[in-house]
Amino acid sequence: MAKKFNANDLKKVMADDAQLTRLFFIMLGSFILMCILVPDKFPTWNNMKSMMFQFPEIGIFALAVSLGMLLGGIDLSVVSVGNISTIIAALLMNKLVEGGMNGGLAVVIGCVVAMVIGCICGTFNGLLIAKLGIPAMIATLGAMEVFAGLGVGLTDGAAIFTPEAYAFIGAGYIAGIPVPLIIFLVVMVIFTIFLQKKTFGMELYLVGTNRKAARFAGISTDMTIIRTHMAGGLLAAIGGIILSSRVTSAKASYGSSYILQCLLVAILGGINPNGGFGKVPGIVMAILTLQFLSSGFNMMRADSYFKTFIWGFVLIAAMIINYYGDKAAEKKKRAAAAAKRAAEKAAAAAENN
């Protein structure tokens, strides 16, 4: 009896979140596919380890893009925010280390400064969108040019090398676990809690679903938008810190191909680009899928333009699949409602008799 109940329970969860279930199988499928295609290199501990270092940064950037999308907008400036934060932090850290400061302390100060700059950049985006009424896409596209331009101007377009101690963040281990992975997990857990359990998340989803209704419900929509973009800026800075520390330098042009991949992760992860729908677990599964495919293609020595093509293709395909998935779910819902109505009618008729 108990066993049967469990099976039903699982079925219910799967039906409730058809998208996450679908995504889980896509992830599993891409993993198995790569195991079959590159059996000697893909399913190895070495590969698993290198993947654990690679996906956290794009995962965090993708979460930042997703926050914007949950609001019904988008945040295209994430990578440039990450770059400008780490460029300024790197310049500062180098000055501090030159001045004879302990490397570890300088790195801590640098990271804090980077995150503060990320927040400021995010707030700038939020103000443009909420207070001036610029559509999010245009605002963040313009902001991207400003931040990237500032980065190029400050560095002459060259890479700024970071202090030795900084590399720990991108390449170190704590208790045998890669540091980027730890940061990734902490960020994802915190944001899952904030989005699903806290008022902030509730307000964010409401504003994303229907801005006008949210305002009438007494939510300060402007404040929600600014706060969300501030959080996005913070995430962008964290992603930038991992990226720059992994390559031990900061540069304005790093991660120029990331924005498409971030969007891909967000869409594949079930974030609705019209706002209001999407969950963190989806993003995690989507970034893993992307990493499996990416690593596998690298092992097969695929052309980088082949990868560009595949990302575009997967992005379009994912949206089309979601379209049919939503349609099927709606059909099912309607059928269920009709059946319920019919049953009620029958019951009423029986009662009358």
Partner 1 sequence: MKKLFKTHETYVALTVIALCLVIGIINPVFFSAPNIVNLFRNATVNGIMAFALMMGIIIGGIDVAFPAVAVCSMYLTTKTLESMGYDGPVFIPILAAALIGTLLGLINGLIITKFDLPAFIVTLGTSSLYHGLLVWLVGSKPVNRLEPPLEAFGKMEIFRVTNDTTSAALPWTFVFMVAMALVVWFILNKTMLGRTIFAIGGDRTSAERAGYPVKRTIVFTYTFIGMAGGLAGIIHAIQSQMCIPTDLMGCEMMIIAAVVLGGTTISGGRGTVLGTCLGLAVITIAKNSLILVGITATWQRFVLGLIIVIGTAVSAYQALRASRKIAPVMTEEEEGGVVNG
Among 142, 172, 281, 325, binds partner 1 (CB under 8 A): 142
Q: Least distance in Å: CB of 133 to partner 1?
A: 4
Q: Least distance in Å: CB of 54 to partner 1?
A: 20
Q: Least distance in Å: CB of 194 to partner 1?
A: 25
Among 64, 71, 79, 139, binds partner 1 (CB under 8 A): 139
Q: Least distance in Å: CB of 132 to partner 1?
A: 5
Q: What are the structure tokens assigned to 94, written together?
A: 């180098």
Q: With binding defined as CB under 8 A, does residue 110 bind partner 1?
A: no
Q: Least distance in Å: CB of 262 to partner 1?
A: 11
3-state secondary structure 19-71: HHHHHHHHHHHHHHHHHHHCCCCCCCHHHHHHHHHHHHHHHHHHHHHHHHHHC
Among 7, 132, 175, 350, binds partner 1 (CB under 8 A): 132
Q: With binding defined as CB under 8 A, does residue 223 bind partner 1?
A: no
Q: Which is nearer to partner 1, 25 or 306 (CB)?
A: 306
Cβ-based burial of 123 (10 A; exposed 0-12, middle 13-18, buried ≥19): middle
Virtual torsion, Cα 174, 180, 182, 184, nearest 10 deg: 180
Q: Which residue in 55, 67, 26 sits closest to 258, CA to CA?
A: 55
Q: With binding defined as CB under 8 A, does residue 305 bind partner 1?
A: yes
Q: What are the structure tokens assigned to 121, written together?
A: 């950049």
Q: What are the structure tokens assigned to 274, written together?
A: 């019209």
Alpha carbon of residue 231 to chain centroid:
12
- Helix (H/G/I), strand (E/B), else coil: 273: coil
Q: With binding defined as CB under 8 A, does residue 320 bind partner 1?
A: yes
Q: With binding defined as CB under 8 A, does residue 311 bind partner 1?
A: yes
Among 56, 178, 201, 273, binds partner 1 (CB under 8 A): 273
Q: Which stretch binds partner 1 (CB under 8 A): 20-28, 125-133, 191-199, 216-224?
A: 125-133
Q: Which is nearer to partner 1, 39 or 157 (CB)?
A: 157
Q: With binding defined as CB under 8 A, does residue 329 bind partner 1?
A: no
Q: With binding defined as CB under 8 A, does residue 68 bind partner 1?
A: no
Alpha carbon of residue 331 to chain centroid:
30
Instruction: Write the interaction track for partner 1 spanning residues 157-196; mark x where CB under 8 A is met and - where it is not.
Output: x---------------------------------------
Residue 23 · residue 282 · CB < 8 Å: yes
Q: Which is nearer to partner 1, 48 or 316 (CB)?
A: 316
Q: Which residue in 263, 52, 146, 289 sits closest to 281, CA to CA?
A: 289
| Orientation angle between helical segments 258-268 and 78-98, nearest 10 degrees | 130
Q: With binding defined as CB under 8 A, does residue 313 bind partner 1?
A: yes
What gap in Å lies between CA 70 and CA 337, rounded to an integer? Answer: 28
Q: With binding defined as CB under 8 A, does residue 331 bind partner 1?
A: no
Q: With binding defined as CB under 8 A, does residue 121 bind partner 1?
A: no
What gap in Å lies between CA 322 and CA 319, rounded to an integer? Answer: 5
What gap in Å lies between CA 271 and CA 279, rounded to an integer? Answer: 7
β partners of residue 160: 250
Interface residues with partner 1 (CB under 8 A)?
74, 128, 132-135, 137-139, 141-150, 152-153, 156-157, 260, 263-264, 267, 273-274, 303, 305-313, 315-316, 319-320, 323
